[in-house]
């Protein structure tokens, strides 16, 4: 499926360039991750949900003379802000990370990361099992994460659009969006199958790179 960008959509993209927080570019085509989700899901997710969070985050600071510009600082100090900012800053930041957690390329964990996974989980397949079980259990909408905390790799979940850094759960290395909007068109309510196919597209290069930054 080819995605045609209409003139009005193109204008929106141009407008967005003047905004404080901008969407990151999708590092592949909408149809490149068919093993995981189809182009319609990718398009909706990127152009409606992600754009929605981005627009609302910008809107929430539009009246400020000196708005905060560092998204990571906002995330880490989220208790200073109201729920509207929490939801949309989280939505903006989590999705900005998410696009790079998945890839059509074939990747594998670095040697250093592999060793750490074996040490903390026993094996990569055990990590996948723990992560998948936690992801299935998220009640309603939220995320499942692999984080680095106090020298260890851990699997944690967050509700809504919360990021692990908001509640000191650790530094995120990998995250999976388990909101229904991320998979419903392809899987209906079969979240389990969506999670199973996630492993086919995980970008281990990103996870390894993020791991390198914290150790």
Contact stretch for Mn ion (CB under 5 A) within 109-117, 135-143, 169-177, 193-201: 169-177
Q: How far is the CB of 8 from Mn ion (least distance, A)?
A: 23
Q: Which of residues 18-37 bind Mn ion (CB under 5 A)?
A: none
Contact stretch for Mn ion (CB under 5 A) within 17-25, 68-76, 150-158, 177-185: 177-185
Contact stretch for Mn ion (CB under 5 A) within 128-136, 137-145, 173-181, 186-194: 173-181
Give 156-207 as a DSSP string.
Answer: EEEETT--GGGGT--EEEEEEE-SGGGTHHHHTT-HHHHHHHHHHHB-HHHH
Q: How far is the CB of 178 from Mn ion (least distance, A)?
A: 9
Q: Which of residues 181-210 bind Mn ion (CB under 5 A)?
A: 182
CA distance 38 to 31: 6
Q: How far is the CB of 189 from Mn ion (least distance, A)?
A: 16
129 with 155: CB under 8 angstroms? no
Q: How far is the CB of 177 from Mn ion (least distance, A)?
A: 4
CA distance 205 to 208: 5
Contact stretch for Mn ion (CB under 5 A) within 19-27, 71-79, 115-123, 170-178: 170-178
Contact stretch for Mn ion (CB under 5 A) within 24-32, 58-66, 175-183, 199-207: 175-183
Using CB atoms, what's the residue nearest to Mn ion?
177
Q: Which of 55, 87, 177, 210 binds Mn ion (CB under 5 A)?
A: 177
Q: Is 162 in the site for Mn ion (CB under 5 A)?
A: no
CA distance 193 to 118: 25
Q: What angle, 0 to 180 degrees and rounded to 10, lies between the N-to-C axes of helices 191-201 and 124-137?
A: 140
Please, which residue, 93 or 211, has the CB nearer to Mn ion? 93
Q: How far is the CB of 180 from Mn ion (least distance, A)?
A: 9
Handedness of CA 170, 172, 173, 177 (dihedral sign): positive
Q: Which two tokens stand for residue 133?
A: 């079980």
Q: How far is the CB of 141 from Mn ion (least distance, A)?
A: 9
Q: Which residue has the tokens 């074996």?
A: 118
CA distance 98 to 92: 10
Phi, psi of 183 (to 5 degrees): -145, -10
| Interface residues toward Mn ion, by CB under 5 A | 49, 177, 179, 182
């Amino acid at each position: 499926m080819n995605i045609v960008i209409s003139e009005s959509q193109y204008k929106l993209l141009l407008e967005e360039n003047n905004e404080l927080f901008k969407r990151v570019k999708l590092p592949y085509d909408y149809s490149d991750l068919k093993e995981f989700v189809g182009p319609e899901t990718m398009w909706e997710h990127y152009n409606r949900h992600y754009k929605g969070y981005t627009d609302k985050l910008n809107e929430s600071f539009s009246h400020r003379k000196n708005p905060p510009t560092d998204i990571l600082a906002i995330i880490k100090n989220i208790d200073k802000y109201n729920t509207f900012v929490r939801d949309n800053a989280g939505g903006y930041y989590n999705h900005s990370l998410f696009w790079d957690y998945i890839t059509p390329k074939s990747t594998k964990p670095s040697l250093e990361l592999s060793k750490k996974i074996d040490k903390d989980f026993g094996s990569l397949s055990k990590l996948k099992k723990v992560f998948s079980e936690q992801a299935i259990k998220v009640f309603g909408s939220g995320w499942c994460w692999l984080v680095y905390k106090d020298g260890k790799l851990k699997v944690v979940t967050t509700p809504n659009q919360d990021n692990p850094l908001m509640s000191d759960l650790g530094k995120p290395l990998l995250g999976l969006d388990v909101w229904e909007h991320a998979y419903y068109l392809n899987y209906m309510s079969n979240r389990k199958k969506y999670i199973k196919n996630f492993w086919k597209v995980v970008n281990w290069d990103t996870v390894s790179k993020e791991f390198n930054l914290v150790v």
